[in-house]
Structure 1
Amino acid sequence: MDLFTHHSNNLKQNVNIIESVSSLSELAILGDQKESDIFDQFIEDKIIEEFVRTLKSTKDTNIVNTILHQISMLITNIGKNIVVLLSLPQLNEFIIYNYDLSNDETQDYYINFIKILSNKVTRENINLFFNQKYAQFPLLLYSQNFYNAKDNLTRTYTRHILLSILQIVENSQMEKVLLQYLQCYPFLQVLTNHISFFKDLLFKWSKDQDYYHEELKNMYYFFKDLYQIAHYLVDILDNLFLNIIIIPLLQTFQQKDENIKQQSTLIIKSFFNAEIIFSKRILISILILLFSPEIPKIQSIQLELNYLPTKDPELVNQCTRFFNIPQKESKDGERLSGLLQSITQTISYVSNNSIFVKEIPKQELYEALQSLGYIQKLNQAILFKENILFQDEHTNNFLNEEHYQSVLILLETIVTQNTLSLISESQKQIFIINLLNIMYEEQYNILNTLNNCQKSILIINQLLEVQDQNFLIQYIRFKLLRQMEQHIQSYTIEYYRYFSQILQSLQNKNIEIYNKIPVTHQIIKFLLLLDLSFQKQWLKNPFSQTKNPNIYKELSFNDGLIKLCHLEIITQNLNFYLDQWKIIPQEQKQTIIFINLIDDEKLELVFQDENEAEIFKLEVYQRQQDSEQHAISQIILQLQQLYF
C-alpha cells in the first residue's frame, strides 16, 4: 500500500509521470486479482481522473502513449472489478480526447484502446457505454473516425467494432433508446461515411480491378453483415445507397461521355455480380430506374459526405458539458434530455412538403421529422413500393435513349444472376414489353440496331418461363402480327427475295450478314421474337419456302450461252436464282451486271446484241415482279395463320 501511495502522490505532483502511471496500473491489476484493498484504494483516490487530468495537461507524446497503453492494460486484465472500471464516466473522456493522431504511434495506441474497450461491450453492460440522458455513444461514434484510414487493418478494425456493437443492440437493456439513436444524427453520418468510402473504392476498382478486387470484396461482405445484423437499418441503408451511389451513377447514363457511362455500368454490374446480395428493394429500385424515361433528381435531406460528426462543434460541446457539469448541479437535465437526438438528420425521399424546401436548423429539423412521422415513412419511399413499378400494366414506357446501351449490358448480367426473379410476373412482363417497344420502333435509331435486338431477345429468352406462354402469345397476336403485316404491305420491295434466307439465318443464329442491308432490319426484328416462340414450341412455324407456281417459257440468249429457265439463269460457268440477285443499272446497254443481295458479289453478263440484252432485262424484271407479288401474298397468308 505504501508503494501505491508513493506513486499516487508522484502522479498528483507530476513527478515521474510515466513510471507512476505504469506502476499504478500494475498495482490496480494486482489488487483486482489478489489484494482487493489496493484496487479499492485505486478507485477511492480517483486515479483514473488523475490519468485524465495528466492527459489534458501534457504535450509529451510519450506520456500520452503511456496513459493510453496502461488504460488498455487495465481494461484487458481487470477481471473481478471490470464493471466498476467500465462504469467510470472518465473512460469516455479517453475516447473523445483530441489526440494528435498524426503521430502513428499515438494512433496505434488509441485504436488498440478503442478495440479492447469495444470487446467489453455486452447486452448486459451496454448501458455503461451509452448515456441515455444526452443520447451519447462515444465509443461507437469515435471508433468510426477511421473508416477511411490509410492502413487496411485499421479500416477492418473499424468495421468490426461497428458490427460487433450493432449485433448486441437488440434484446439489450436499452434496446428501444439505442434503436432510436441509430436512426438519428450523428450515427447516420457514420453510415454515410462508410457508403461514401465504398463509392470511392468502386471508382478506383473500375479503373484497376485487380489491385482493388480484394478490398472491394471485403466491403461487400461488410455490408452483407451490416444488412443481416442490423435489419432495423435496412430502410436507411437502402436510401443511402440509392442517393449516394446508385442514382448518381444512373444519371451518368444520360451523358455523352462513353467512358463515364462504361465506368458507371461496370460499377452497377458489380452490385449484381457480387457474391452477396443487397436488400431486395435496392435491386428492384435499380431495375425500376433502368426503365424510367428519366432518372429522377430527388430532393432529399443530405448528409455531408466524408464528414466526421466528432468534429461537429455542437456535438463536441454537448459531450464536454456532460463531463464538466457535476450530476448534482445538472438541474436542467430534463430539458437537455435527448438533446443530441434533436440534432438529427436523415436521408430518404421526402414528400413535396414546403418544410423541406429551405434549410432548417438541426434542432428544428428533428421536430419537423418527428411531427411528420418521417422515420416511419422510410418504408413508404416510392421506389420501394413493389407494386408501384408500373401503375398501369398496359402502359408501355420506352427506355431512355441515352442509357439504353448500359441497360442492355446490365440486364445481360442481371438475368444470369437470376436477380429478376425478385420481381413480380406483371413487372417482368412489362420489362419485356419495354424491350420489345424498342425493337419494333419503325424508324431507325441508335437503339434498335440488330445487335441490340439480339441482346434483347437473349434477355427475353432468359426471362420467359412456361407460365409466360399465354402472355407472349397474346402480345404477338395483339401487337406484333398486325404491325408486321402492315409493315410488309407497306414495304414489299425486295422482301420476297430476302424472306426465306432470313428465316434460315435465324435458325442458324447468324443475322450479322444483314447489318449492311437496312431494308431487312425491321422484318428481322419481328421474326426474332416469332422465332423465339417457335423454338419454345409455343407457336407453330407457318412459314415455308415461298414458291411461284407460274410456268415461264425457257428463253435462250447469246446463241444459247445464256439461258433463262423459270427463275434461274444458266451460263457455261454457273447457275443463279433471280430472287437472290438484282440488276445494277449500266450505261453500256449490252452489259448487264447483277449483284447478290447478301454478300454484294457481282456477276457480269455481256450480250452481243443490244436489243437482245434489253429483252433479257425486261424478262428478268417481269419474272422478279411476278415472284415478288406471289411471295408477298404467301407470306401474308402464312402470317395470318398465327392469329389463330
Structure 2
Amino acid sequence: MDQFIRHSNNLKQNVNIIESVSSLSELAILGDQKESDIFDQFIEEKVVEEFVRILKSTKDTNIVNTILHQISMLITNIDKNIVVLLSLPQLNEFIIYNYDLNNEETQDYYINFIKILSNKVTKGNINLFFNQKYAQFPLLLYSQNFYNAKDNLTRTYTRHILLSILQIVQNSSNEQILLQYLQSYPFLQVLTNHISFMNELLLKWSKDQDYFHEELKNMYYFFKDLYNIAPYLADTLDNLFFKIIIQPIYQILQQKDENAKKQSCLILLSLFNAEVQFSYQLLLSILILFFSPEIPKIQTLQLELNYLPTKDPELVNQCIRFFKNFQKEVKDGEKSNGLLQSITQTISQVSYNAIFVKEIPKQGIYEALNSYGYIQKLNSSILFKENFLISDEYINNYLNEEHYNSILTVLETLTINKTLQFLSEFQKERFILDLFNVMYDEQPNLLNNLKNCQKIIQIVNYLLDNSDQNFIITYIRIKLLKQMEQHIQSQTIEYYRYFSQILQSVSEKNYEPFYRIPITHQIIRFMLLLDFSFQKNWLKNPFQKTFNPLTYQELQFNNGLVKLDNLQIITENINFHLDQWKLIFQQEQKQTIIFMNLINDEKLELAFNDIKEAENFKLEVYQRQQDSEQHVVSQLITQLQQLYF
C-alpha cells in the first residue's frame, strides 16, 4: 500500500509520470487479482481521473502513449472488478480526447485501446457505454473514425466493431433507445462514410479490377452482414446507396463519355452481382430509373460524404462539457438540460417544410424537430412508391438514347443472376410493356435498333412463364396485329415483297443483312415480338406458308440472252429473284436496265440492243413485282387475321 501511496502522490505532483502511471496500473491489476484493498484505493483516489488530467495537460507523446497503453492493460487484465472500471465516466474521455493521430505510434495505441474496449461490450453491460439520458455512444461513434484508414486490418476491425455492437444491441436492456440512436444523427454519418468509402472503392475497382478485387469483396461482405444484422437500417441504407452510388451512376450514364459510361455500367453490374441482399425497395427503384424521363429529385439524407462527426467542433465541445459536468451533476443533482440532445437526436429524413431548410445537424433544426416529437423514423417509402412503376408518366418515351444500351447490358446480367424474379406479376407486366414500347416505336433510333431489340427479346423471354400467356396474347392482339395490318396495307412498304426473307432471318436470328435498311426494321421488330410466342406455342405461326404460287409465261429478251422465268431473271452469268431487287429507272441510257439489291445496294446492269425491247422488259418486270407484292399482302392479311383467333 505504501508503494501505491507514493506513486499516487507523484502522479498528483506530476513527478515521474510515466513510472507512476505504469506502476499504479500494475498495482490495480494486482489488487483485482489478490488484494482488493489496493483496487478499492485505486478507485477512491480517482487514479483514472488523474490519468485524464495529465492526458489533457501534456504534449509529451511518450506520456500520452503510456497512458493509452496502461488504460488498455487495465481493461484487458481487470477481471473481478471490470464492471466498476467500465462504469467510470473517464473512459469515455479517453475515447473522445483529441489525440495527435498523425503520430503513427499514438494512432496504434489509440486503435488498440478502442479494440480492447469494444471487446468488453455485452448485452448485459452495454448501458455502461451508452448514455441513455443524452443519447451518447462515444465508443461506437469514435471507433468508426478509421473507416478509411490506410491499414487494411484497421479498416476491417473498424467494420467488425460496428457489426459486433449492432448485434449486441438487439435484445439488450436499452434496445429501443439504442435503435433510435442508430437511426439518427450522428450515427447516420457513420453509415454515410462507409458507403462513401465503398463508392470510392468501386470507382477505383472499375479502373483496376484485379488490384481492388479483394477489398471490394470485403466491403460486400460487410454490407451483407449489415443488412442481415440490422434490418431496421434497411431504409436508411437504401437511401444512402441511392444517393451516394446509384444516382451519380445514372448521371454519368446520361453523358457522352464512353469510358465513364463503361465504368459506371461495370459498377452497376458489380452491385447486382454482389452477395449483398439489397432490399426490394432499392432494386425496384433502380429498375424504375431505367424508364424514367429523368432522375427523380427525391428527398434523401442530407449528410456530407467523408465527414467525421467526431471532428465537428460543436460535437467535441459538447462532449467535453458533458463529461466535465458529470461529477458536479452527481454531487448536487444539477441537470445538464439535455446538453447533447442538439447533436444526437437530429433525424435524417424530414418532410418538405420551411423550417427544415437549415443545414443539419446543429441546434436550430433540432429544436424545430423536437417540437414535433422526440425522433422520427425514416419513411418506409423513402425512395419511390411502388405505383410509380405502373404510372403512365414513367413509360419509356423519355429514355436517354446515350445510355440505353448500357441499361440493356445490366438487364441481361439481371436475367442471369435472377434478380428480376423479385418483381410481382403486375410489376413484371409493366416492366415488359416498357421494354416492348421501345421496340414498338415507329421511328428507328438508337433505342430500338435491331441489336437492342434482340437483347430485349432475350430479357423478356427469360421473364415469361406460362402464367403470362394471356397477357402476351392480349398485348399482341390489341396493339401489335392492328399496327401490322396498317403497315401491310400501305403501298409504300415495298419490303413486304420479300417478307419470307425477314421471316427466315428472325427464325435464324441473323439480321445482319437488314441492319443498314431502316425501312425493314419495323417489320422485323414486329416479328421478333411474335416469334417468342410462336416458340412457346402460345400462338401458331401462320406465316410459314407465305409464298407466291402465281406462274407467268417465260419471256426471252436480247436474242435469248436474258430470260424472265416467273419472278427470276436468268442470264448467262447471273440468276436472281425479283423480290430481292429494286428496278431503277433512268432517262439517259434507256437501253440499259439497272437493278439494285435492296439489302446491300449491289447493282446489276443489263444492256439491251433495242430501246423498245428494254422498255418492254422494264414494264414486264415492274408488273410482276407489283402482282407478287399484292398477292403476298393479301396472304399476310389473311394470316394475321388467324392470329386474332
Per the normalisation by structure 1, the TM-score is 0.94
| Secondary structure in structure 2 of the residue aligned to 1:161 | helix
Residue 506 (structure 2) pairs with residue 506 (structure 1): yes
Partners of 2:243 and 2:58 in 1: CA distance: 44
Q: 2:141 maps to what in 1?
A: 141
2:524 is aligned with 1:516: no
- Measure the CA separation in 1 of the matches of 2:373 and 2:558: 94
Local SS of the residue matching 2:295: coil
Q: Contact 2:235–2:380 (CA<8 Å) still a contact in 1?
A: no
Shift of residue 180, structure 1, vs aligned partner: 1.4
2:440 paired residue number? 440
Aligned partner of 1:495 in structure 2 is 495
Conserved 8 A contact 2:487-2:493: no
Question: For residues 50 and 112 of structure 1, what CA distance do their matches in structure 2 show?
Answer: 21
Deviations, residues 411-451 of structure 1 (Å, cap 9, x unaligned):
11222221111121111111111111111111232211111
Which residue of structure 2 aligns with residue 400 of structure 1?
399
Q: CA RMSD in A?
A: 2.2
| Comparing 438-447 and 601-610, the one that deviates more | 601-610
1:360, distance to aligned residue in structure 2 (A):
7.3
Distance (whole Å) between structure 2 residues aligned to residue 86 and residue 428 of structure 1: 55
Aligned to 1:274: 274
Q: Check whether the contact 1:301–1:345 (CA below 8 A) recurs between aligned residues.
A: no
Other-structure match for 1:613: 614
1:590–1:613 CA contact under 8 A, matched in 2? yes
For 1:592, give the aligned amino acid: I
Instruction: Name the counterpart of 2:182.
Output: 182
**Structure-2 change in CA distance of 1:73 and 1:192 (3 Å):** same
- Cα pair distance change 1:288/1:294, threshold 3 Å: same
Matched, 1:583 2:586: no
Q: Secondary structure at the match of 1:603?
A: strand
Partner of 1:564, secondary structure, is strand
CA distance in 2, matches of 1:413, 1:613: 58
Secondary structure (helix, strand or coil) at the match of 2:100 reads: coil
1:538 pairs with 2:513:
no
> Which piece of structure 1 moves more, 86-95 or 204-213?
204-213
Residues 206, 371 of structure 1: CA spacing in aligned structure 2 closer, same or farther, 3 A cutoff?
Answer: farther
Offset at residue 492 of structure 1 (A): 4.3
Closer/same/farther in 2, CA of residues 359 and 158 from structure 1, 3 Å limit: closer
Contact 1:344 1:363 in 2 (8 A): no
Q: Tell whether the 8 Å contact from 2:184 to 2:346 is kept in structure 1 after alignment.
A: yes
- Is contact 2:239-2:383 (8 Å) kept? no
Instruction: Give the distance between the partners of 2:496 and 2:322, measured in 1 at CA.
Output: 88
Q: 1:327 aligns with which of 316, 326, 329?
A: 329
Counterpart Cα distance in 1 of 2:178 and 2:621: 88
Give the whole-Å Cα distance in 2 for the aligned partners of 1:305 and 1:611. Answer: 83
1:226-375 → structure 2 map (5 Å cutoff): 226-300=226-300, 302-325=302-325, 326-328=328-330, 331-333=333-335, 335-336=337-338, 339-340=340-341, 343-348=344-349, 350-357=350-357, 362-369=362-369
User: What does 1:381-392 correspond to in 2, within 5 Å?
Assistant: 381=381, 383-391=383-391
1:581/1:594 contact within 8 Å kept? yes
Q: Residues 329 and 19 (structure 1 numbering): CA distance in 2 closer, same or farther, change over 3 Å?
A: closer
- Of stretches 350-359 and 64-73 in structure 1, the one that deviates more from structure 2 is 350-359
Given that residues 399 and 438 in structure 1 are in contact (C-alpha distance below 8 angstroms), is that contact kept between their aligned partners in structure 2?
no
**1:554 lines up with 2:554 in the alignment:** yes
Q: Does 1:98 align with 2:91?
A: no
CA deviation map 1:111-153 (0-9, x unaligned): 0000000000001001111112222111111111111111111
Once residues 556 and 390 of structure 1 are traced to their aligned partners in structure 2, the CA distance between those partners, rounded to angstroms, is 63
- The answer (yes or no) to whether the contact 1:343–1:362 under 8 Å persists in 2 is no
Q: 39-48 vs 490-499, which deviates more?
A: 490-499
Q: In the alignment, does 2:226 pair up with 1:221?
A: no
Query: Which residue number corresponds to residue 18 of structure 1?
Result: 18
How far is the alpha carbon of 1:276 from its aligned partner? 2.2
Change (3 A) 1:84 1:358: closer
**Who is 1:473 aligned against?**
473
Aligned equivalents of 2:584, 2:372: Cα separation in 1: 75
For 1:400, give the aligned amino acid.
L
Letter in 2 for 1:604: E
Q: 1:532 to 1:134 in 2, by over 3 A?
A: same
Cα distance, 1:611 vs structure 2: 2.1
One-letter amino acid matched to 1:161: I
- The answer on whether the counterparts of 1:590 and 1:608 sit within 8 Å (CA) in structure 2 is yes
After alignment, is 470-479 or 575-584 more displaced?
575-584
Question: Higher mean Cα deviation, 147-156 or 255-264?
Answer: 255-264
How far apart in 1 are the matches of 2:265 and 2:533?
Answer: 31
Check conservation: 2:193, 2:306, Cα contact below 8 A: yes
1:15 CA displacement: 2.3
What's the offset of the Cα at 1:329?
5.4
Q: Is the 8 A contact 1:302 1:346 kept in 2?
A: no
Aligned-residue offset at 1:334: 6.5
Q: Contact 2:192/2:305 (CA < 8 Å) preserved in 1?
A: yes
Q: 487-496 or 608-617: which moved more? A: 487-496
Matches of 2:81 and 2:486, distance apart in 1: 88
Q: What is the distance in 1 between the residues matched to 2:235 and 2:583?
A: 67
The superposition leaves residues 495-530 of structure 1 with CA deviations (integer Å, 9 ceiling, x where unpaired) of 233310011111111012200111101110111010
Q: Contact 2:239–2:382 (CA<8 Å) still a contact in 1?
A: no
Counterpart of 2:264, as a letter, is S
- SS of the aligned residue for 2:211 comes to helix
Q: CA deviation at 1:40?
A: 1.9
Structure 2 counterpart of 1:604: 605
Question: What is the rounded CA distance, in whole Å, between the counterparts of 2:184 and 2:346 in structure 1?
Answer: 6
Instruction: Give the corresponding residue for 1:126.
Output: 126
Q: SS at the partner of 2:544? A: coil
Q: Give how far 1:371 is off.
A: 5.4
1:179 deviation in Å?
A: 1.3
CA contact (8 A) 2:389 2:427 kept: yes
Q: Percent identity?
A: 74
User: What is residue 629 of structure 2 aligned with on the other side?
Assistant: 628
* 1:222 partner SS: helix
Give the counterpart letter for 1:335 in structure 2. Answer: N
Q: What secondary structure does 1:383 align onto?
A: coil
* SS of equivalent residue, structure 1 residue 398: helix
- For 1:641 and 1:427, how far apart are their aligned partners in 2? 30
Match of 1:593 in 2: 594
Q: Greater CA deviation, 251-260 or 63-72?
A: 251-260
Aligned AA (2:640): L
Counterpart of 1:640 in structure 2 is: 641
Deviation at 1:584, TM superposition (A): 3.4
AA aligned to 1:127 is N
Instruction: Tell me if structure 1 keeps the 8 A contact 2:95–2:142.
Output: yes
Distance in 2 of aligned mates of 1:438 and 1:500 = 25
Q: Secondary structure of the residue that 2:595 maps to in structure 1?
A: strand
Distance apart, 1:609 and its partner CA: 2.4
CA contact (8 A) 1:344 1:365 kept: no
The number of residue pairs the alignment matches comes to 641
SS of 1:569's equivalent in the other structure is strand
Give yes or no for contact 1:134–1:336 (8 Å, CA) kept in 2. yes
Deviations 1:67-121 (A, max 9, x none): 1111111111111111111111111111111111000010001000000000000
- Quote the offset at 1:331 in angstroms: 4.7
Structure 2 vs 1, CA of residues 518 and 145 (structure 1 numbering), >3 Å: closer, same or farther?
same
CA distance in structure 1 between the aligned counterparts of 2:266 and 2:540, rounded to whole angstroms: 40
